[in-house]
Amino acid sequence: MDILLNLAMGFQQVLTPIYLLFVLLGVGFGLIVGALPGLGPTAAIAILLPLTYKSDPVLSMVMLTGIYYGAMFGGSYTSILLNIPGESSAVMTALEGYQLALQGQASKAIQMANMSSFLGGTISVFGLTVAAPLLSKAALAFGPPEYFILMMLGLSAIAFVGTGSPVKALIAGCFGLMLGTIGSEPITGAQRYTFGSYNLGDGIPFAAVAMGIFAIAEVLINIEKGLKPFSGKTEKKMRIQWPTKEELKISMSPAFQGTGIGFVLGALPGVGPTIASFLSYSLAKLQSKRPEKWGKGAIEGIAAVETANNAAVGGAMVPLLSLGIPGSSATAVLLGGLLMHGLRPGPLLFSEHPEIPWGVIASMYIGNIIAIIMGITLSVYFIRLLKLPPAVLNVIIFLVTIIGAYSINNNVFDIWVLLVFGVVGYFFKKVGIPEAPVVLGLVLGPLVETTFGQSLIMSHGSLSIFVQRPVSLVLLIILIIIYLWPLIRFSFNRLKYSNNQ
């Protein structure tokens, strides 16, 4: 009852012209920065943070939060249209979305992304409303052993993101993990494979590798084939195309599963939308009745990824608002925003300043509705990108990726990384080595290494720590089931076949 009263108070506050204007501004800005590579939600929130210094704290938090989930909405657009993941969490969207765009179904893919983002976002805000205190306590039960098994679960996606040879997918994943070892070792701080370069001290920037291996490599392949950068069909009329009833039906299960995964993983500090989207994608592919379609334009893959990364935003707000713990870089900047106004998030915030958390939560419900309306409207204009002359589109991809790479550290070195991985991606594409596992390995590698090292330090070198803790044990059993799933399915089918005989 208290929850409903507080939520009603939040809505009463937010449903006024000035608040709606700030939600609109935040979501609109978020949609644009999400679509542009390099300028993620963290940077966008940081840019606008000083401007909110003198405004009302609820008003400023409503706008800054709007940027966060707006960016998740927008992250899918350039992934689908140009094979450039605007956000790291949209890498898997590029895998299926770009294939659909090549088949002349870009609009359909974008609408599926919009609908899934809305579903994931709205359900996760509902979760934030009712389950915040409970989930925040559960999140604290996660230590390094649990995180390690979770990361191993994420790595299992390597086996599912490739479409061809599993050996090539493993090579790509292993290559990504090797890239992840470059720079300072997470436990001892020892420098590895840096060749004395201080630029490599912090490791290889993930965004530059992703843009190079996906976008630059694709453009190089198209240039080699004769400058047809968008080598697929383009819709004759730029109109909104919706997924069919059948496509919506097959996307339901991955979408709801993705929402659950995204919300729970989003609430765990340090996990965030990227890992949630990888895991949601691989689990959905594992359960799919048409796995052969994945990697070639499976629309349900977009549903799995987009629900997960948007639901992770609601999840990430759980530890921030209820415990004052930022689980990601974007929520850390949001925490900075609250502190700037002299407010300390945590259990006391709900009792002493209820208008702030409940105002933000209510604005997220409204913001998701605004985001889907804006997303559907803007998608028509985004799709017009594909109508540009091929050569101009190529140049635009080069310029956007160059700016995106440079913006990571304001360093030309990252543009060199972009180019090198563009060429590496070109050769990988030529021999049929999938690109997505490289990115997955690069993201998860350092996390796997850190959590494994921390776990062993905790247990004085004993591996038994992974089976002694209940949460870790449950996750380990799930991990074993996932790895043995093909064998289990094979045995089950064989048994069914022999029974039928």
Partner 1 sequence: MRRGKISLYSGLIALSIYYGREALSLGLWVGFGPGPGLMPLLLSIIMFILACFLLLSPDGLKNTETDSFILADGKRRLIMVVLFLIISTYLMDIIGFILSTMILTYTILQMVEKWGMKRSAIVAIILPVTFWFLFAVAFKMQLPEGIWF
Positions that interact with partner 1 (CB under 8 A) = 33, 36, 38-39, 47, 165, 167-168, 170-171, 174-175, 177-178, 181, 185, 187-188, 190, 192-193, 220, 223-227, 391-392, 394-396, 398-400, 402-403, 406-407, 410, 412, 415-416, 419, 422-423, 427, 430-432, 445, 448-449, 452-454, 456-457, 459-461
Q: How far is the CB of 441 from partner 1 (least distance, A)?
A: 9
Contact 271, 315 (CB under 8 A): no
Q: Over 294-345, what HEC string results?
A: CCCCCHHHHHHHHHHHHHHHHHHHHHHHHHCCCCCHHHHHHHHHHHHCCCCC
Q: Is-contact 184 305, C-beta < 8 A?
A: no
CB of 15 or CB of 187, closer to partner 1:
187
- CB-based contact 128:454 (threshold 8 Å): no
Least Å from the CB of residue 392 to partner 1? 6
CB of 451 vs partner 1, minimal distance in Å:
11
Residue matched to tokens 């360093």: 411
Let me know: does 323 contact 136? Beta carbons within 8 Å: yes
Q: How many other β-carbons are positioned within 10 Å of the β-carbon of residue 348?
A: 11
**Phi, psi for residue 66 in degrees, rounded to 5:** -60, -40
> Closest CB to partner 1 among 98 and 428?
428
Half-sphere exposure at residue 8, Cβ-oriented, CA atoms within 13 angstroms: 5
For partner 1, the closer of residues 36 and 338 by Cβ is 36
**Residue 166, C-beta contacts closer than 8 angstroms, at least 6 positions apart:** 159
| In the complex, minimum distance from the CB of residue 225 to partner 1, in angstroms, rounded to a whole number | 6
**Total residue count of the chain as it appears in this document:** 501
Least distance in Å: CB of 233 to partner 1?
19
- DSSP codes, 454-477: HHHHHTTT-TTHHHHSHHHHHHHH
| Spatial distance between the Cα atoms of 209 and 37, rounded to a whole number of angstroms | 12
Query: Taking the complex as a whole, how short is the minimal distance between the CB of residue 309 and partner 1, in angstroms?
Result: 22
Identity of the residue, 171 or 276, whose beta carbon is nearer to partner 1 in the bound complex: 171
What beta strand segments (E) does 6-164 contain? Answer: none
Residue with Cβ nearer partner 1 (463 or 474): 463
Considering the complex, state which of residue 109 and residue 402 has its C-beta at the smaller distance from partner 1: 402
- Where residue 228 falls (left for φ over 0; alpha for ψ -120 to 50; beta otherwise) is beta
Q: How far is the CB of 416 from partner 1 (least distance, A)?
A: 6
CB of 425 to partner 1, least distance (A): 12
Chain centre distance of CA 501: 46
Nearer to partner 1, 118 or 428 (CB): 428
Nearer to partner 1, 31 or 448 (CB): 448
CB closer to partner 1 out of 136 and 401: 401
CB of 427 to partner 1, least distance (A): 6
Q: How far apart are CA 74 and CA 444, in angstroms?
A: 24
